[in-house]
Amino acid sequence: MNAKTSYIIALIFLAITLLASYVGFQIERDFGRIDVQTITIPTEEKQPMVAKLYRPISATAQTPKPALLALHGYQSDKEATNTFGVLELAKRGFVVLAIDHFGHGYSTKLPAANKTISGANNGYQYLKTLPFVDKDRLGIFGHSTGALNAIRVAKLNPDHKAVNGLSSNGGDSELHNYLLTQGLYEEIGGYREKTFPVKDLVNHPARLKAFSLPENATLQWDQTYGSFDKGTARRAALVDGTHLGVMIAEQSNKEAILWFNQALQNGVKDQDWVDPDDQTYWYKEFSGLIALFSAILSALFLINGLLKRPYFSAITQQISEKTTLSTRKWWIFAGINIVLTMLLYPIFTQWGGANEPIAATLEFMPLEMGNGIISWLLVSAVINLLFFVLWKKANPIVSLQEFGVLNHASIGLKSLVLRSLLLSTIAVGYLYILTCLVHTWLGVELRFLWPLLKPLTLERAELFIVYWLPILLFFFAFNGLIIGVQMKQPLQKTFSATLMRWSIKTVIFAVSGLFILWLFHFIPDFMQIGPGFDLVGLPQFGGRWMMMLAVIIPQFIVFIIINHWCYLKTGYIYLGVFFTSMLMAWILVGGQVIGRFLA
4 and 101 within one domain = no
Q: Tell me if 434 sits within 8 A of 441, measured CB to CB.
A: no
pLDDT beyond 60 at 599: no
451 and 509 within one domain = yes
Average of pLDDT values for 571-583?
97
Work out the burial of residue 40: count CB atoms within 10 Å of its CB; fewer than 13 is exposed, 13-18 middle, 19 or more buried: exposed
Q: How many CB atoms lie within 10 A of CB 417?
A: 17
80 and 221 within one domain = yes
* Closest of 85, 134, 70, 123 to residue 266, by C-alpha: 134
Q: How many CB atoms lie within 10 A of CB 501?
A: 15
The C-alpha atoms of residue 482 and residue 470 are separated, in whole angstroms, by 17
pLDDT digits (tens, 9 = 90+) for 257-309: 999 999 999 999 999 999 999 999 999 999 999 999 999 999 999 999 999 99
Q: Tell me if 484 sits within 8 A of 400, measured CB to CB.
A: no
Q: What DSSP string runs through 274-317?
A: --TT---HHHHHHHHHHHHHHHHHHHHHHHHHHTTSHHHHTT--
303 and 243 within one domain = no
Give helix 574-591 / helix 413-442 axis angle, nearest 10°: 40
The C-alpha atoms of residue 198 and residue 204 are separated, in whole angstroms, by 10
* Closest of 347, 342, 368, 346 to residue 357, by C-alpha: 368
pLDDT digits (tens, 9 = 90+) for 153-205: 999 999 999 999 999 999 988 999 999 999 999 999 889 998 888 988 999 99
Torsion of CA 151, 152, 156, 162, to 10 degrees: -10
Average of pLDDT values for 358-364?
86
The C-alpha atoms of residue 99 and residue 38 are separated, in whole angstroms, by 10
The C-alpha atoms of residue 369 and residue 367 are separated, in whole angstroms, by 6
43 and 26 within one domain = no
Edge-to-edge strand list for the sheet holding 162-166: 34-41, 49-56, 95-99, 65-71, 133-143, 162-166, 178-183, 234-239, 224-225
405 and 337 within one domain = yes
Bridge-based pairing of strands 162-166 and 95-99 is unpaired
Residue 123's domain comprises 34-271
- Whether 21 is in a domain gets the answer yes
- Whether 277 is in a domain gets the answer no
Domain termination residue (choose one: 224, 248, 271): 271
Question: What per-residue confidence (pLDDT) applies to 409?
Answer: 73
H helical segments located in 169-228: 205-210
pLDDT beyond 90 at 355: no
pLDDT digits (tens, 9 = 90+) for 532-571: 999 999 998 998 899 999 999 999 999 999 999 999 999 9
For residue 130, the domain's CATH number is 3.40.50.1820
The C-alpha atoms of residue 380 and residue 375 are separated, in whole angstroms, by 8
Question: What per-residue confidence (pLDDT) applies to 80?
Answer: 96
Biggest CA–CA distance in the chain, Å, is 83
- Higher-confidence position of 410 and 130: 130
- Whether 596 is in a domain gets the answer no
Question: What per-residue confidence (pLDDT) applies to 535?
Answer: 93
296 and 187 within one domain = no
Question: What per-residue confidence (pLDDT) applies to 399?
Answer: 87
CA distances from 325 to 391, 482, 485 (A): 11, 12, 10
CA distances from 480 to 104, 335, 399, 405, 587 (A): 33, 19, 14, 8, 20
* Closest of 92, 420, 428, 123 to residue 253, by C-alpha: 92
Q: What is the DSSP letter of 272?
A: T
The C-alpha atoms of residue 15 and residue 295 are separated, in whole angstroms, by 9
65 and 2 within one domain = no
Please give the distance of CA 167 from its chain centroid, rounded to a whole number: 17
267 and 304 within one domain = no
Looking from the CA of 82 toward its CB, the CA atoms found within 13 Å total 30
- Whether 313 is in a domain gets the answer no
pLDDT beyond 70 at 85: yes
Give the phi and the psi of residue 494 in degrees, each rounded to 5: -130, 165
Please give the distance of CA 357 from its chain centroid, rounded to a whole number: 23
- Whether 51 is in a domain gets the answer yes
Q: What percent of the chain has pLDDT over 90?
A: 87
* Closest of 584, 585, 531, 588 to residue 556, by C-alpha: 584
The C-alpha atoms of residue 33 and residue 301 are separated, in whole angstroms, by 38
Q: Tell me if 563 sits within 8 A of 576, measured CB to CB.
A: yes
Average of pLDDT values for 72-88?
95
450 and 338 within one domain = yes
Spatial CB neighbours of 95, under 8 Å, sequence gap ≥ 6: 53, 54, 55, 56, 59, 65, 66, 67, 68, 127, 130, 132, 133
543 and 568 within one domain = yes
133 and 245 within one domain = yes
* Closest of 126, 154, 127 to residue 140, by C-alpha: 154
Question: What per-residue confidence (pLDDT) applies to 75?
Answer: 86
- Whether 63 is in a domain gets the answer yes
User: E strand or H helix at 235, and its extent?
Assistant: strand 234-239
Number of domains in the chain: 3
Confidence of residue 147 (pLDDT cuts 50, 70, 90): very high
The C-alpha atoms of residue 456 and residue 105 are separated, in whole angstroms, by 9
- Whether 317 is in a domain gets the answer no
User: E strand or H helix at 518, and its extent?
Assistant: helix 495-526
- Higher-confidence position of 42 and 597: 42
- Whether 472 is in a domain gets the answer yes
Work out the burial of residue 304: count CB atoms within 10 Å of its CB; fewer than 13 is exposed, 13-18 middle, 19 or more buried: buried
Spatial CB neighbours of 134, under 8 Å, sequence gap ≥ 6: 64, 65, 66, 67
Confidence of residue 597 (pLDDT cuts 50, 70, 90): low
Q: What is the DSSP letter of 104?
A: B
Question: What per-residue confidence (pLDDT) applies to 598?
Answer: 63
Give the phi and the psi of residue 178 in degrees, each rounded to 5: -100, 125
pLDDT, the chain, mean: 94
Q: How far apart are the first and last CA of the chain?
A: 55
pLDDT digits (tens, 9 = 90+) for 226-254: 999 999 999 999 999 999 999 999 999 99
Average of pLDDT values for 394-422?
90
- What's the helix, strand, coil split of the chain in %, to 5? 55, 10, 35
Q: What is the DSSP letter of 107?
A: B
